[in-house]
Amino acid sequence: MLTKGKGKHPGDGFSIQDGNHQIVPSLTRPSAPKMDIKGDHLSIQDIIDVSLLGRHVPLSHDVDDHVAAAHQLILDRLKAGQPMYGVNTNFGGLATKQLTANEASALQENLIWGLKSGAGRKLPPYLVRAAMLIRANALARGASGARRILIERLLAFLNEGVTPVVHELGSIGASGDLIPLAEIVGCVIGLSKAYRVVDQNGRELDALAALAEMGLEPLRLERKEGLALVNGTSMMNGIACHVITDARKLLRLSLYLHAFYIQALEGSPEPFSAFLHQCKPHPGQVEAARLMRELLKGGKVLPNAEQMLESDKALIQDRYSIRCLPQYMGPILDAFALIEKQVEMEANCVDDNPLVDVSAGMVLNGGNFLGQYIGTGMDLLRYHVALLTKHLDTQIAMLVTPSMNNGLPASLVGTRADDTGIKLGLKALQIFANSVLPRLMHLASPITHLFPTHAEEYNQNINSQGSTLPTWQESLLVF
């Protein structure tokens, strides 16, 4: 029977209006429990609750010792004159020599200024808030070398509903989301009036005025802190959390629609029998069949093969869009589960460079900032959302076509004899769907393999385009 469901996944409550994001999230949700940021246990639902619904976020004191120890190790190595990338050297292709003490002192804030080049539309505040939460969580692991006060500042902005203005364009997803995250950092530390924020009432003001209203002073960045704040995948990851949540709602909705279509077309329930899928037990296929059995339970009695043969139906079995539904939808369910797992893991990673291993007394150079998991995940998600829409379009075409819809009126014009001659039914709706489908197919094209190999003096010569992909995915979901 078609009833509202409630499951473990975000959006499984099946309310379409859940996807209608507010421009500025509500900060009045007293029933939402508080959560501590510790660096390792954020769920996608946590991120949605904080970024969209205004859940309060304190910083756990469990992180104090390792956050302080990592920062102290940076200072100790500096005192010993040891070279550290991005601490007493410049960045990327410019990291060719060790800087003087005065140069290193100015380096971190100069990095934020140097990255002030975002362009395009302003991202919705809930996406920026998601990035801020994920960045705070990464720093709380104590492997980045940033002080506790910077993590607290990110959370203060979240809890007060003050959101930096961040622009859509600028990140190639290689050294993380440098340009978008720098727009966040410029606001939370109060670097200049040139950085803008939006408060919870939708009012835009400069960062220094916002700090004054919050009773906070501007912060000066210490060694490595600018790099720790901008050198990660938090922006693309935050967008991806919302995208996979919305896509899962569409997946759920599509299953409900298929159940309606199958009943309208008098399809057979046999293709969803448990035995068939025990013989080919891919997890997604088995789950798709189970969901269809549940959705069809208690509805109109559907024919079996013998009844279909005895009826006026032309075929003893249904066409593939019904009969192969579990096999078609199974890989989509499996892909969604994989992508969701990867997106959530990314939200609990330390993804800047270099990283501080306090136990070994080492500062290690690596590449955790590369957003390849988000990039390839969003490519895969767009592809599977396109498959969802293609399948639905096929079912709609059968519904409106007399030779395939088992006795329903053409274009579903209705059955009243006195007015069916002038009615158009759902003809225009199907035409509209046909106009949208090619756009969806175009937006489903992969991007991760199209990266430029010469970025930033060939230093970022592989890159994920991970921030481009979630915003494309948002466009696809809107359609």
267 and 149 both lie in a single domain: no
Report yes or no on 439 lying in a domain. Answer: yes
3-state secondary structure 286-320: HHHHHHHHHHHCCCCCCCCHHHHHHCCCCCCCCCH
Give the bridge partners for 363, in sequence order. Answer: 356
Query: What is the reported pLDDT for 454?
Result: 63
228 and 284 both lie in a single domain: no
186 and 210 both lie in a single domain: yes
Q: How many domains does the chain have?
A: 2
d(C-alpha 247, C-alpha 253), whole Å: 10
Query: Which one-letter DSSP state was computed for residue 231?
Result: S
Provide the token pair at 13: 């409550």
273 and 254 both lie in a single domain: yes
Considering 85, 261, 373, 383, which one is annotated as catalytic?
85
**Using 50, 70 and 90 to split pLDDT, how confident is the model at 445?**
confident
Residue 110 sits in a domain whose CATH number is: 1.10.275.10
Percent of the chain with pLDDT over 90: 63
Report yes or no on 15 lying in a domain. Answer: no
Query: Which one-letter DSSP state was computed for residue 58?
Result: P
Query: What is the reported pLDDT for 403?
Result: 84
156 and 54 both lie in a single domain: yes
Q: What range defines the domain where residue 57 resides?
A: 44-232
Provide the token pair at 438: 């090619």
Q: How far is CA 339 from CA 285, 379, 421, in A?
A: 17, 10, 49
Report yes or no on 8 lying in a domain. Answer: no
337 and 459 both lie in a single domain: yes
268 and 228 both lie in a single domain: no
| 3-state helix, strand and coil shares in percent for the chain, rounded to the nearest 5 | 50, 5, 40
Boundary of a domain, candidates 213, 232, 251:
232
Helices (H) and strands (E) in the chain, counts: 17, 7
Q: How far is CA 283 from CA 278, 331, 333, in A?
A: 10, 9, 8
Q: What is the pTM of this model?
A: 0.87
Please tell me the number of Cα atoms within 13 Å of 101 on its side-chain side. Answer: 6
User: What is the helix (H) or strand (E) element at residue 198, kind and residue range?
Assistant: strand 196-198
315 and 248 both lie in a single domain: yes
pLDDT digit string, tens, across residues 217-240: 999 999 999 999 999 999 999 999
pLDDT digit string, tens, across residues 357-410: 999 999 999 999 998 999 999 999 999 999 999 999 999 999 998 888 888 888
Is 373 annotated as catalytic? no
**Using 50, 70 and 90 to split pLDDT, how confident is the model at 77?**
very high
273 and 179 both lie in a single domain: no
Query: What is the reported pLDDT for 413?
Result: 86
**Using 50, 70 and 90 to split pLDDT, how confident is the model at 16?**
very low
Please tell me the number of Cα atoms within 13 Å of 366 on its side-chain side. Answer: 14
334 and 398 both lie in a single domain: yes
Report yes or no on 59 lying in a domain. Answer: yes
Residue 444 sits in a domain whose CATH number is: 1.20.200.10
d(C-alpha 139, C-alpha 154), whole Å: 10
Please tell me the number of Cα atoms within 13 Å of 47 on its side-chain side. Answer: 37
209 and 65 both lie in a single domain: yes
166 and 269 both lie in a single domain: no
Report yes or no on 355 lying in a domain. Answer: no
Boundary of a domain, candidates 232, 267, 298:
232
Q: First and final CA of the chain: distance in angstroms?
A: 28
Report yes or no on 105 lying in a domain. Answer: yes
Boundary of a domain, candidates 173, 202, 232:
232
**Has residue 416 got a pLDDT over 80?**
no
pLDDT digit string, tens, across residues 155-186: 999 999 999 999 999 887 777 899 999 999 99
Beta strand ranges found along 52-107 (DSSP E):
none
Report yes or no on 283 lying in a domain. Answer: yes
